[in-house]
A and B are shown apart, each in its own frame.
Chain A
């Protein structure tokens, strides 16, 4: 291989002219500064207390406080995941407790926690702080599980030879984390962060629009803005709010997630160049920008290198990583024992509370569950009815896909809960009223998961099989039956699992809402939970929440898990 002499290689970058990337960075910096000043000067005076200011100029401030909640929750969930996942992966006794716990927590409808958390925090803290905290806790719980699971799974699937190499070479914990564990997990952590963040929007909006009777639980933020706009029938404000939300989501996608994904391509494990890596114009701009290169070298790379060297030296005194066997086993058992005792005590209290419930109340919970259950499945059926044909059409037709994909992505990125106030505004006068709105909200929350999964499934059908069905001159129905339906089946199931989870969650905000100063509600377990919160009826709240959690985890186990296994074993291509 011919290599230019060293001298010229060093000289080269200095001669490089400014690129278009520099322009992008420059303009970006300017915009950012301007925005900061705008927000800093304009906002605080207009936003005081729970009153929502509907003028569009207040929007940047609302966006910022909403984003602050999201970011705080995200950072917390990332830290939590790293600790929890590492413990579960490296300590056998911990694994036995932590993993099943993770599994249960993952399948629980998170939104049902909101009322409980809110009420209990409001009891001990000032209201605004309690609201803020409960919103962050809610977003945290929605973001954390898949991140934790991703990190745990990465840690346990690191190729054995790489693990052995890091032991043989005598890596200390820091070097191991930096050179092996973090890079190996990087891609799935980023993907899961994106998913977490998208899910987080749903719950952020939900916690901001959540109402419980006369008590004012409203949190200022983008969600509250949208709810207020709809409630007052202020259509321009509604449009402004939705526009701002979409722009925020697109901006985050373009300036944070896509560049991160493009950057993370280097962490792919496969030893061949990937065929179509994620591209990001912003990432390319940054990389070609001299300004950014200079900044990143001096502000990120060098300090990072110094920190790295220091940590490596500091930790090498501790010696290399020992084997997985933990000397602290007894500590784990002691901790688990203590936790079990506390739980038992709490369970006793909860049991006492549940016993106090009347038969009529139990009956109403069962009816409510049934009603919500029917709604969830109607929503799923409607979603399936349109997503299967459309998804297959998009997935099997690359030209259509190119054209529609970005559109669908933007539409799908809008959290369903943000649209709910607008939905109520539309359907409140129609027959069926809130019932219809609830189903629509569930549909909005569920259909995109399905559509994306089906598109992925349909586009994964091998060309050879498609040719074969053509050569065999199979009719339309035969083609669907022998090729398309079996091929997309695993994807439909995966999509449906996520979708129904989302639908159950949506029931909490969908079945009970405030509109134009009036409370409207329909039969359903979500309505019961919200009502119980409003009335401060703890036993009913607890019973309904538990019943909901139980129902969801049972259907998950009895129905979805089995279908999923069937799909994995019989219909997975390749």
Chain B
């Protein structure tokens, strides 16, 4: 037994992908303790390593450094006391509902007769009796996830890991299933000692968990660890509930920083390169227009999520973009449109593009990109060249996403053009002439 009595401990866990110049730290010095009886939600932006953490905890993957301790013993290989419920359900489409549940028992060597009765009992408990001979394709998303839960329960896990289990479901089934899971959990009908749920839905975390661990990205680490002292069943209109949601939004949205901090540095220079939030520009316009119609051009971020019908992850990215481009400021969980943002949202399509162009020219990543392009003879560069340069700052997938976003923004503002066939990026004639001095340009490949 552990000296602290924790069920699960993560000590200094780091996960690094790639090697050499392209090393990328997904998770850095992560600490987490979980006791029996706890329901912990892991919350954070896309790419903060939440799902990696689940894989580490279940033993699917070993960390680069640090220790994962389960019941006082370091974890080696797959944790037999833990299981995962996946967002994609991960059911075998060629097995019936019952076979899907039984296969978990079969792997543990349970004899056929016992398997059948246990399988039926489990399906009964999640309310799927009568569907045991159905194939997954015959069921709706909510029912599929019930099978997922039944299968997870079959192995009687002490630690139940949930990887965004409700995000592939429609609103109503998700809500129903959340209630079902909470009932199983709070009634103590299942042998599960602790639940760890990864989610990017803030309300969901507040609704279900006893403790919320908020993560930040680049690199992924704990930003805040807060208790939820509300009794079940929780009501979403409850002022304390709303206050907590507001608080988490405020943590995740942060405060608008002074400009030089907010903008970061160019790739290849010392300091952190600010990643461009991957957003759709029309969605950003929509957000700004919405704020423009609000009294005092101000809104509570948590309330926006409901008004605009977007998920919290997407909303936070839009807000980040608005901040980065200097259209709005964020403080204490509120977002306020500033005069520039107001002008943008009221401008014509042409004028919007011009404003957007002047704003993105200030971003170090764009300055760097434009300077690189200007430094070449034909004012053009291949995608791969830029991607390689970006990979010094970001991991491969993120570098690709950054370039994608940069091209999208560049095309919108008519600064850049891109030919998909030849995969060449070039300056739009007259697009970026004479602005800014060329920053450090990486060595030019022939």
From known contacts A179-B103, A268-B93, A271-B137, infer whether A168 and B88 are also in contact, taking CB-CB under 8 Å. Answer: no
- Cβ–Cβ < 8 Å partners of B88 in chain A: 159, 161
In the assembled complex, the Cα of A487 lies from the Cα of B89 at a distance in Å of: 36
Is there an interface contact between A169 and B103, defined as CB atoms closer than 8 Å?
yes
B124-179, CB < 8 A from A: 130-131, 135-138, 144, 151, 155
- Cβ–Cβ < 8 Å partners of B92 in chain A: 162, 179-180, 183
Is there an interface contact between B107 and A171, defined as CB atoms closer than 8 Å?
yes
> Which of B78-86, B300-308, B424-432 binds A?
B78-86
Q: Does A269 contact B (CB under 8 A)?
A: yes
From known contacts A180-B92, A183-B92, A269-B93, infer whether A168 and B78 are also in contact, taking CB-CB under 8 Å. Answer: yes
Q: Residue B93 contacts which of A1, A165, A271, A316 (CB distance < 8 angstroms)?
A: A271
In the assembled complex, the Cα of A273 lies from the Cα of B136 at a distance in Å of: 10
In the assembled complex, the Cα of A268 lies from the Cα of B93 at a distance in Å of: 7
Chain B contact residue count (CB 8 A cutoff): 35
Q: Does B112 contact A (CB under 8 A)?
A: yes
Smallest CB–CB gap between A262 and chain B, Å? 14
Query: Closest residue of chain B to A274, judged by CB?
Result: B137
- Cβ–Cβ < 8 Å partners of B87 in chain A: 161
A166-196, CB < 8 A from B: 167-172, 175, 179-180, 183, 186
Is there an interface contact between B90 and A312, defined as CB atoms closer than 8 Å?
no
Is there an interface contact between B109 and A165, defined as CB atoms closer than 8 Å?
no
In the assembled complex, the Cα of A271 lies from the Cα of B135 at a distance in Å of: 9
Query: Closest residue of chain A to B104, judged by CB?
Result: A169
In the assembled complex, the Cα of A570 lies from the Cα of B423 at a distance in Å of: 12
Is there an interface contact between B107 and A164, defined as CB atoms closer than 8 Å?
no
Is there an interface contact between A266 and B135, defined as CB atoms closer than 8 Å?
yes
Q: Residue B95 contacts which of A170, A179, A309, A322 (CB distance < 8 angstroms)?
A: A179
The interface residues of chain A, by DSSP majority, are classed as helix
Is there an interface contact between A164 and B90, defined as CB atoms closer than 8 Å?
yes
In the assembled complex, the Cα of A52 lies from the Cα of B88 at a distance in Å of: 61
Smallest CB–CB gap between B13 and chain A, Å? 18
- Cβ–Cβ < 8 Å partners of B107 in chain A: 169-172, 175, 316, 320
Q: Residue B83 contacts which of A162, A168, A273, A570 (CB distance < 8 angstroms)?
A: A168
- Cβ–Cβ < 8 Å partners of B84 in chain A: 164-165, 168
- Cβ–Cβ < 8 Å partners of B109 in chain A: 312-313, 316
Q: Does B290 contact A (CB under 8 A)?
A: no
In the assembled complex, the Cα of A320 lies from the Cα of B78 at a distance in Å of: 9
In the assembled complex, the Cα of A162 lies from the Cα of B83 at a distance in Å of: 13
In the assembled complex, the Cα of A39 lies from the Cα of B82 at a distance in Å of: 61
In the assembled complex, the Cα of A180 lies from the Cα of B94 at a distance in Å of: 9
Is there an interface contact between B94 and A168, defined as CB atoms closer than 8 Å?
no
Smallest CB–CB gap between B410 and chain A, Å? 22
In the assembled complex, the Cα of A172 lies from the Cα of B88 at a distance in Å of: 23
Q: Residue A309 contacts which of B90, B112, B155 (CB distance < 8 angstroms)?
A: B112
Smallest CB–CB gap between B393 and chain A, Å? 27
Q: Does B421 contact A (CB under 8 A)?
A: yes
Q: Does A272 contact B (CB under 8 A)?
A: yes
Q: Does A270 contact B (CB under 8 A)?
A: yes
- Using an 8 Å CB-CB cutoff, how does the interface string of B88-130 with A read, 1 for contact, 0 for none? 1110111100000001101111001000000000000000001
Is there an interface contact between A168 and B103, defined as CB atoms closer than 8 Å?
no
Is there an interface contact between B137 and A312, defined as CB atoms closer than 8 Å?
no
Smallest CB–CB gap between B89 and chain A, Å? 8
- Cβ–Cβ < 8 Å partners of B144 in chain A: 271
Is there an interface contact between A570 and B421, defined as CB atoms closer than 8 Å?
yes
From known contacts A161-B86, A313-B109, infer whether A267 and B104 are also in contact, taking CB-CB under 8 Å. Answer: no
In the assembled complex, the Cα of A348 lies from the Cα of B136 at a distance in Å of: 58
B52-84, CB < 8 A from A: 55, 58, 60, 77-78, 80, 82-84
- Cβ–Cβ < 8 Å partners of A161 in chain B: 86-90
Q: Does A214 contact B (CB under 8 A)?
A: no
Q: Does A569 contact B (CB under 8 A)?
A: yes
Q: Residue A168 contacts which of B58, B130, B135 (CB distance < 8 angstroms)?
A: B58
Instruction: Identify which of B78, B88, B107 gathers the most chain A CB atoms within 10 Å of its CB.
Output: B107
- Cβ–Cβ < 8 Å partners of B151 in chain A: 169
Is there an interface contact between B131 and A167, defined as CB atoms closer than 8 Å?
no
From known contacts A164-B55, A168-B84, A312-B106, infer whether A183 and B94 are also in contact, taking CB-CB under 8 Å. Answer: yes
Query: Closest residue of chain A to B111, judged by CB?
Result: A309
- Cβ–Cβ < 8 Å partners of B55 in chain A: 164
- Cβ–Cβ < 8 Å partners of A159 in chain B: 88, 90
From known contacts A1-B131, A170-B107, A179-B95, infer whether A165 and B78 are also in contact, taking CB-CB under 8 Å. Answer: no
In the assembled complex, the Cα of A273 lies from the Cα of B93 at a distance in Å of: 11
Q: Does A3 contact B (CB under 8 A)?
A: yes
Q: List 24 A-B contacts (CB under 8 A).
A: A1-B130, A161-B86, A162-B90, A162-B92, A164-B60, A164-B86, A165-B84, A168-B58, A168-B83, A168-B84, A169-B103, A169-B151, A169-B155, A170-B80, A183-B92, A183-B94, A268-B93, A270-B93, A270-B137, A312-B106, A313-B109, A316-B107, A320-B78, A569-B421
Given contacts A179-B92, A266-B94, A271-B144, 12 further A-B contacts (CB under 8 A): A159-B88, A164-B60, A165-B86, A167-B60, A169-B107, A175-B107, A179-B95, A183-B94, A270-B93, A271-B93, A316-B107, A320-B107
